[in-house]
Structures are given as structure tokens and as C-alpha cells.
Amino acid sequence: MGRKRIVWLLNWLAVMAWSVPACGPAAPAAQPAGGSTFAVLATETFLADIAQNVAGDRLKVTSLLPIGTDPHSFEPTPQDVAKVTASQVLIVNGGGIEGYLSKLLENAGGQRQVIVASAGLTSRTPGPGEARDTGHPEGDPHFWLDPVMVIKYVEAIRAGLSQADPAGAAVYARNAEAYSAQLKALDAWIAAQVQSIPPERRLLVTNHESLGYYADRYGFKIIGAVVPSFSTDAAPSAQQLAQLVDHIKTTGARAVFLETGSNLQLAQQVAQETGIQVVADLYTESISPAGGPASSYIEMMRYNTRAIVDALKP
């Protein structure tokens, strides 16, 4: 068994252990009363949207993190602890992105079923020239930026909701099948859009190391990141920035892509030294508010793809 697989298993077992009170084994999750009082909480906004598509009209899924919040730097408030305390099911991305989770569950207490959406997925191996984030031993947690991997999320969520609410299993199965078909169509659409970019221009420079799975799926090459880490909380050294500038000049990369809410200062410095474009409005960690350009997971991926293609195509 490889090291990454072992790390993932230990991570998963730890998350499951957090959902069990210290005084004894966990009891079965409470059953829904007509589907209206069964509290299901997902950590990130995009994850809540994915889960809502599986739950359909039977359950209401809410998000722990507010829209626009960076999960890497999220610090739960007492109100957030109360939300978790009231939940019967908690859906998490996993992969180490919810660094706050252990303490949050400890403070919340009680019993709930924890669904790890990324269960069974293996962290990618960085490509040639990509930085190795030794501060994040779980690997890259941004699985959701590949819609084919999100089909695995859907299956994990369907199985978890069916376990918590056996009476709704058939509903969740139908919804999961329908949503998975939408994800397959999204995957085909993204691949078609990327075809308008010549292969030699499919070079990605990002704010932090977030687009690896997207790049692997659609034939991009990761040139580097302003923050050479899977987390936005890290800070680059002057040497790392200088190396990134040199690499951009050598490869001819044409843009640096940032998620909304990012600090623009370092990216603008890199852009000034290299002459590349700054695209500062990707939605990678959160969807947008209702009525915005990325108000669902699928719309988020469509919006990001349009922004990337527009910046890189001839």
C-alpha cells in the first residue's frame, strides 16, 4: 500500500472517529420527519450545491462556510459550532482542506454521520517542474475542480444519505444518476472549449496550487503558483517568486489566474515583471451568490473555463 493511500486512510479514519462521542459508540442518525427536519450540513458552498442535487426535494442541505469564504483560512465561530451541533449529517470534502474540522467537531460534541465526499480518491502526483507541498502531507485536496471526480463525490453522498435515511434511498439514487449525467455533459463541454486553445498555450500559472486536477483532465501544464502551496495561507519567499518569474519568461505563459478574494499584490508584481495578464475572478473555493456568474457548482466550472479559455486562446 502506497504512502499516499496510507495517509488518506488514516485521515479518513480520523474524520470518522471525530463523529463519535468519547462516551461510547455512535447511535444511528435520526430519521427525517417527512424530509423537513433532517439537518444536513456541508462544509463548503460548492459541496452543499452538489449534495443538494443528490438530496433533491427530500432534504435541505446548508453550507457551513458562507459564500466567498476561503476554506483554507476559515475559523469557525460559536454560531458555526451550533450549526454542527444541530446537524445529523455533516458532509466534508476531506483531503485535509478542512483543517479546522477536528477542533470544530470536538467543540460541537453530540453524534452525527460524517460523509467524506472525496473518499476513495487518490491525490495527484505533481508533474515535472511542479512544486511539492511538503507542508500538506495529504496531497492536493482540490478534487472538485475535475467534474469526473465529482461523480465520485456524488456516489459517496448518495451512499451516505441512503444510510442515514434508508426510506429515501431510491430518491437519492435517481437524483445521483441524473446529476452524474449533467457532470458528464459538463466534462464534455469543458473539453470542447479547451480545444480552442493550441496545446502550446495551455499553460497555467495560479495564485496557489489549486488547478492540478483540472489541468490533468483537460491537457494543461502547471507552470507554477504565486503561493507554492495547496493552501492560500502559505507565503512565498523572494527566491520562489524570482524562480516563478524566470519560469514564466522561459515557457511563455500568458496569464496568472487567481480566485476571487485573493490578494492581488504578488500576482501583479509577477505580471509587471513578465508582461502577462492577471485574471483575478475565478471561483475555485466557493460558488457565487444567487444571481451571480457561478451560483452553482456546474455554473462555477463553466465560468472558470470561459475565463481560462478567453485568456489563453489566440
Dihedral angle, C-alpha 49, 53, 54, 58, nearest 10 °: 100
What pLDDT, on a 0 to 100 scale, did the predictor assign at position 210?
A: 87
What pLDDT, on a 0 to 100 scale, did the predictor assign at position 128?
A: 73
Q: What is the DSSP string of 139-201?
A: ----GGGSHHHHHHHHHHHHHHHHHH-GGGHHHHHHHHHHHHHHHHHHHHHHHHHHTTS-GGG
What pLDDT, on a 0 to 100 scale, did the predictor assign at position 133?
A: 57
Looking at 206-292, list the stretches that DSSP marks H as alpha helix, in order from N- to C-terminal side: 212-218, 238-251, 265-274
Rounded distance, CA 141 to CA 122, Å? 9
Q: What is the pLDDT along the chain (314 residues), one digit of tens a residue?
A: 443 443 344 344 444 433 333 322 233 333 443 444 689 999 999 999 999 999 999 999 999 999 999 888 899 999 999 999 999 999 999 999 999 999 999 999 999 999 999 999 999 988 776 666 555 668 899 999 999 999 999 999 999 999 999 999 999 999 999 999 999 999 999 999 999 999 999 999 988 788 999 999 999 999 988 876 555 555 667 888 888 899 899 999 999 999 888 888 888 999 999 999 999 999 999 999 999 999 999 999 999 999 999 999 99
What pLDDT, on a 0 to 100 scale, did the predictor assign at position 227?
A: 73
* SS3 of residue 260 by DSSP: coil
Task: Give per-residue burial for 97-126: e unless 16+ CB within 10 Å, then b.
Answer: bbbbbeebbeebeeebbbbbbbbebebbee
Rounded distance, CA 31 to CA 38, Å? 7
The alpha carbon dihedral of 39, 15, 94, 169 has a sign of negative
Rounded distance, CA 273 to CA 216, Å? 28
**How many CB atoms within 10 Å of residue 181?**
11
Rounded distance, CA 52 to CA 62, Å? 8
| Closest alpha carbon to 46 in 184, 146, 165, 140 | 146
Half-sphere exposure of 240 (CA within 13 A, CB side): 17
* SS3 of residue 63 by DSSP: strand
Three-state secondary structure of 64-118: CCCCCCCCCCCCCCHHHHHHHHHCCEEEECCCCCCCCHHHHHHHHCCCCEEEECC
For the segment 159-187, what is each residue's pLDDT rounded down to a tens digit? Answer: 999 999 999 999 999 999 999 999 999 99
Q: What is the DSSP string of 119-146?
A: TT--PPPP-TTPPP-TT-TT----GGGS
The order of strands in the sheet holding 40-42 is: 61-63, 40-42, 89-92, 113-116
Domains of the chain, CATH where assigned:
3-187 (3.40.50.1980), 191-312 (3.40.50.1980)
Rounded distance, CA 103 to CA 125, Å? 29
Contact predicate 39/86, CB 8 Å: yes
What pLDDT, on a 0 to 100 scale, did the predictor assign at position 240?
A: 82
What pLDDT, on a 0 to 100 scale, did the predictor assign at position 31?
A: 43
Q: Which three three-digit cell numbers place residue 100?
A: 479546522
